[in-house]
Structure 1
Amino acid sequence: MSSRIVAMSTVTAAPAATRPRAATIGLWVLQVLLGLMFVVGSGLPKLWGDAYAIQLFAELPGGQALRLVVGVLEIAGGIGLLVPRLAGLAAACLAAVMVGATVAQLFFLSVGFWYTPVILGVLLLVVAVVRRREIRALVGG
């Protein structure tokens, strides 16, 4: 009988890059504030038919159906910002919604607050860039 020795190797993952504690806390504060703003301050009023939201979307192609779609996207994205694994992707998707909001403000609406979705979009892009590893992991990259 011959004995055979099989060498087993252990594969270890590279250590995950860690952020300084203050940066992690700052990122979470930003995500929570943005999440609350999108769920409570923006998405829910669109869904429950806030008079201002109805008036605003009456001026847009797509009208009230678009209001409901945007409301659902904002609530889903706001909740996604609070889930570590989803936060980066949620931020990137909400940034895309803010591009649409900026275009709507500039070209279709009579209100002059185009800079609000730009500022929100930049903040969302910060979250998306910082959480790009989580985005890659979700989309298989």
Structure 2
Amino acid sequence: MSEQTSTAAKIGNIVVWILQIVLAVQFVMNGYALFTDQFVAKFDDIGFGQWFRYFTGVLEIAAAIGLVIPRICGIAALALAGIMGGAALTELFLVTNGGFKAATMPIIFVVWSLIIAIYRREQIFGLLSKITGRKS
């Protein structure tokens, strides 16, 4: 039984790493796209200014890099869930041509990020216990 559990854990770990790498690549591309003129009109529509477009791009790229660093991948996944949760809400309520259809991809990314965060919860708790000085 222990061998089966070990094999299942290894397979699960491999699947989650693949998901992390795919998500990291996607968010490097998304973050880079935010530095192009492609999103100027959308961020004008949001009303926070273009600085927010650059800030979001930096956050997305930083979180993408964090996804492939074993010690911080869980926290990076939580950060991406937050960023994409904000994107989904923005598409639903602030963007003129937004709506549920436009919010679909951010919602999918929230779910993927939360799956990673849940699977990497031991790393998250370990990192938080080091930061706070408490045992988890």
Instruction: Give the TM-score normalised by structure 1.
Output: 0.81
What's the CA shift string for 1:5-56, capped at 9, x where partnerless? xxxxxxxxxxxx966222111111000000000012x101112xx2221121
Equivalent residues, number: 122
Deviating 4+ runs (over 6 angstroms):
none
Counterpart pick for 1:77 among 63, 66, 70:
63
Match of 1:111 in 2: 98
The one-letter code sitting in structure 2 at the alignment partner of 1:107 is F
| Unaligned residue ranges in structure 2 (runs of 5+) | 130-135
Match of 1:138 in 2: 127
SS at match of 2:46: coil
The one-letter code sitting in structure 1 at the alignment partner of 2:33 is P
| Unaligned residue ranges in structure 1 (runs of 5+) | 1-16
Q: Does 1:67 align with 2:56?
A: no
Which is richer in helix? 2
The one-letter code sitting in structure 1 at the alignment partner of 2:98 is V
* Deviation at residue 107 of structure 1 after TM alignment: 0.6
CA distance in 1, matches of 2:70, 2:123: 8
Match of 2:11 in 1: 22
The one-letter code sitting in structure 1 at the alignment partner of 2:27 is F
Q: Does 1:44 align with 2:32?
A: yes
CA distance in 2, matches of 1:135, 1:61: 34
SS at match of 1:62: coil
CA distance in 2, matches of 1:107, 1:86: 32
Bigger mean CA deviation after superposition, 52-61 or 118-127: 52-61
CA distance in 2, matches of 1:131, 1:102: 23
CA distance in 1, matches of 2:38, 2:54: 14
CA distance in 2, matches of 1:22, 1:131: 14
Instruction: Give the TM-score normalised by structure 2.
Output: 0.84
SS at match of 2:34: helix
Counterpart pick for 1:88 among 74, 92, 95:
74
